[in-house]
C-alpha cells in the first residue's frame, strides 16, 4: 500500500472506531492468559502447544512442506505449511526489507519509512513485555540465503475488513472497545503508520482481536496518531507502560531495532504516559483505568 493510501486507510479506520462506552464490565487479563493461549491447527483441532515457548520452538524447527501466496497485502506475504513430528500448522512468512517515501494524507512528505520483517518479531517481544497476549507468536528464521518472520496463523478468523463486509457486530461491546483501545496504545507506542482493516484479525468464536502486520511499525516519527481515540487503559497495561525500561527493551529488541528506533519509541512512550496521566487528572482514575479480569 502506498504511504498516502496507508495514511488514508488508517484515517478511515480510526474514524470508524467505536466510541468508548462507560468502563464497566471485564475482559480477560492478557498477562494472565499469556502462557495458556492455544492455537488451532488447519483441521480445526487445537495444536498440542501449551505455551508460547512451544509454539516458537515449533516455528523455529518445523520443516516447510508447502507454500501459498496470500492473495492480499503489498509486502507479498506468503503462507507456509510447517510440519514437525506429524504436527502441521500454517504460518505467515514475510521477508520484506524496504525503505520508501511518499506523501501522507496530512500533506506531509514522509522520508525514510521502513518496512522490515524484523519489526514483526520486535512487536511480538514488546507485546509480551507489556503483558499483551494478542500478537501471535513470531520468530525470525533462515530460509536459504534469506531470513524471514514466521508467525503462527490464526485459524477460524476474519479480518476487520471481512467483519465489516459481512455486517457482523461484536457481541460484547465493552470487550471489543477495550481491545481497540489496547491497539491504539500499542500502535502509538510502536509508531505504526500502517494499521488497516486487514491487519486486525478477529477470532470468529471469541472475538479476540489479534494485532498482525507490524512490519511498518517502529518508525522514527515521534508523533502520536491515536490520542484522540485513546481514552482508557487497563491498570496492568498502564503500570507496564510506565515501567518499560529502555535497557531491558534494548536487551530484548536490540537485535531487531536500531538504538534510534528504540529512542523514538521511548519519546512516544513518554508522550503516551503524559496523555493518559492528563486523562486521569481530568476525569479521575476510575473513568480511565479499568481492571481486566477473566
Ligand atoms: N498470523 C496470521 N493469521 C491469520 N491471518 C493472517 C496472519 N498474517 C497475515 N494474515 C492475513 O494475510 C493478510 C496479509 O498479511 P499482512 O497484512 O501481514 O500483509 P501486508 O502486505 O503487510 O499488508 P498491507 O496491505 O497491510 O501492507 C492479512 O490481511 C490477513 O488476512
Ligand atoms: Mg497488512
Grid coordinates representing 26 are: 471485564
**Residue-wise pLDDT tens digits, 183-211:** 999 999 999 988 999 999 999 999 999 99
pLDDT attached to residue 28: 33
Q: Given CA atoms 234, 235, 240, 243 in this order, what sign does their dihedral have?
A: positive
**Residue 92 near ligand 1, beta carbon < 6 Å:** yes
Q: Could you state, in order of their start, the residue ranges of all structural domains in the chain?
A: 3-17+24-290
**Residue 215 near ligand 1, beta carbon < 6 Å:** yes
Grid coordinates representing 130 are: 507489556
- Residue 140 contacts by C-beta under 8 Å, 6 or more apart in sequence? 117, 118, 121, 147, 148, 149, 150, 256
Which residues are registered as beta bridge partners of 91? 80, 152
**Residue 136 near ligand 1, beta carbon < 6 Å:** yes
What mean pLDDT comes out for the span 124-136?
Answer: 97
pLDDT attached to residue 143: 94
**Residue 62 near ligand 1, beta carbon < 6 Å:** no
Q: Which atom of ligand 1 is nearest to the CA of 151?
A: 1
What mean pLDDT comes out for the span 171-186?
Answer: 97
Residue 153 scores a pLDDT above 90: yes
Q: Yes or no: say if 127 and 134 are a contact pair by the CB < 8 Å rule.
A: yes
Q: Yes or no: say if 126 and 24 are a contact pair by the CB < 8 Å rule.
A: no
Residue 14 scores a pLDDT above 70: no
Q: Which residue puts its alpha carbon closest to atom 24 of ligand 1?
A: 73
**Residue 198 near ligand 1, beta carbon < 6 Å:** yes
**Residue-wise pLDDT tens digits, 64-108:** 999 998 887 776 789 999 999 999 999 999 999 999 887 665 666
- Across the chain, mean pLDDT equals 87
**Residue-wise pLDDT tens digits, 252-277:** 999 999 999 999 999 999 999 999 99
Q: Which atom of ligand 1 is nearest to the CA of 115?
A: 22
Grid coordinates representing 193 are: 503508520
Residue 280 scores a pLDDT above 70: yes
Grid coordinates representing 280 are: 486521569
pLDDT class of 16 with cuts at 50, 70, 90:
very low
Question: Of 265, 249, 242, 237, nearest to 34 (Cα)?
Answer: 237
**Residue 161 near ligand 1, beta carbon < 6 Å:** no
Question: In angstroms, rounded to a whole number, what is the distance separating the alpha carbons of residues 274 and 276?
Answer: 6
SS3 67: strand
68, 92, 116, 127: residue to mutate for ligand 1 pocket, most atoms within 8 A of CB: 92
- Residue 230 contacts by C-beta under 8 Å, 6 or more apart in sequence? 181, 184, 185, 188, 272, 275, 276
pLDDT attached to residue 72: 79
**Residue 137 near ligand 1, beta carbon < 6 Å:** no
Residues with CB under 5 A from ligand 2 (ion): 198-199, 213
Return the H-helix or E-strand segment holding 175.
Answer: helix 173-190
Grid coordinates representing 224 are: 502520536
Q: Yes or no: say if 112 and 101 are a contact pair by the CB < 8 Å rule.
A: yes
**Residue 151 near ligand 1, beta carbon < 6 Å:** yes
pLDDT attached to residue 268: 98
Percent of the chain with pLDDT over 90: 77
pLDDT class of 32 with cuts at 50, 70, 90:
very low
Question: In angstroms, rounded to a whole number, what is the distance separating the alpha carbons of residues 136 and 226?
Answer: 23
pLDDT attached to residue 112: 86
What mean pLDDT comes out for the span 137-145?
Answer: 96
212, 215, 217: residue to mutate for ligand 1 pocket, most atoms within 8 A of CB: 212
pLDDT attached to residue 76: 72
Q: Yes or no: say if 163 and 207 are a contact pair by the CB < 8 Å rule.
A: no
Amino acid at each position: 500500500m502506498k504511504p498516502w493510501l496507508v495514511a488514508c486507510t488508517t484515517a478511515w479506520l480510526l474514524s470508524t472506531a467505536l466510541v468508548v462506552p462507560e468502563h464497566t464490565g471485564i475482559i480477560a487479563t492478557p498477562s494472565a492468559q499469556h502462557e495458556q493461549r492455544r492455537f488451532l491447527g488447519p483441521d480445526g483441532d487445537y495444536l498440542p502447544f501449551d505455551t508460547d515457548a512451544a509454539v516458537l520452538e515449533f516455528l523455529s524447527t518445523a520443516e516447510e512442506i508447502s507454500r501459498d501466496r496470500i492473495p492480499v497485502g503489498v509486502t507479498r506475504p506468503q503462507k507456509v505449511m510447517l510440519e514437525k513430528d506429524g504436527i502441521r500448522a500454517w504460518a505467515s512468512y514475510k521477508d520484506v526489507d524496504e525503505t520508501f517515501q511518499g506523501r501522507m494524507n496530512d500533506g506531509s512528505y514522509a522520508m525514510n519509512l521502513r518496512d522490515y520483517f524484523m519489526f514483526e518479531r520486535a512487536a511480538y517481544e514488546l507485546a509480551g513485555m507489556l503483558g499483551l497476549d494478542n500478537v501471535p507468536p513470531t520468530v525470525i528464521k533462515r530460509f536459504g540465503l534469506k531470513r524471514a518472520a514466521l508467525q503462527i496463523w490464526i485459524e477460524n478468523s476474519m479480518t476487520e475488513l471481512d467483519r465489516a463486509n459481512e455486517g457482523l457486530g461484536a457481541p460484547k461491546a465493552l470487550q471489543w472497545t477495550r481491545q481497540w483501545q489496547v491497539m491504539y496504545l500499542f500502535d502509538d507506542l510502536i509508531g505504526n503508520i500502517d494499521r488497516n482493516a486487514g491487519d486486525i484479525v478477529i477470532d470468529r468464536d471469541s472475538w479476540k482481536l489479534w494485532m498482525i502486520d507490524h512490519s511498518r511499525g517502529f518508525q522514527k516519527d515521534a508523533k502520536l496518531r491515536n490520542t484522540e481515540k485513546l481514552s482508557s487503559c487497563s491498570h496492568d497495561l498502564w503500570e507496564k507502560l510506565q515501567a518499560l525500561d529502555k535497557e531491558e527493551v534494548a536487551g530484548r529488541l536490540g537485535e531487531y531495532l536500531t538504538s534510534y528506533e528504540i529512542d523514538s519509541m521511548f519519546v512516544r512512550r513518554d508522550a503516551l504516559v503524559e496523555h493518559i496521566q492528563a486523562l486521569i487528572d481530568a476525569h479521575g482514575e476510575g473513568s480511565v483505568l479499568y481492571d481486566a479480569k477473566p
